Amino acid sequence: MNLKRVVILIFLGAAVSVSIRAKAPSDDPDALLKRALHFGDLYNWADAGRLFAEAEELYAARGDKRNALYAHLGRIR
């Protein structure tokens, strides 16, 4: 294999890995909340609101009222 093919294969492998990880749904409300706060900092409230809502549902399912309220307040912000 020549160097050009190796570089192309590495690039494609990295692109697929990043794509799969980015699309994987998270069932960790802490990670969702962190990502929602990041989107909020970027003034991307449409995506942040969706993530706040998902985090709120997951926190509520766990019985974590404090963090569910925090996510709810982030969503209505």
Mean pLDDT, consecutive 10-residue stretches, the chain (77 aa), reads 81 73 73 97 95 97 96 90
Is residue 33 exposed (0-12), middle (13-18) or buried (19+ Cβ within 10 Å)? buried
| pLDDT recorded at residue 24 | 47
The total domain count for the chain is 1
Answer yes or no: pTM beyond 0.75.
Answer: no
C-alpha span between 9 and 5 (Å, rounded): 6
What range defines the domain where residue 17 resides?
3-76
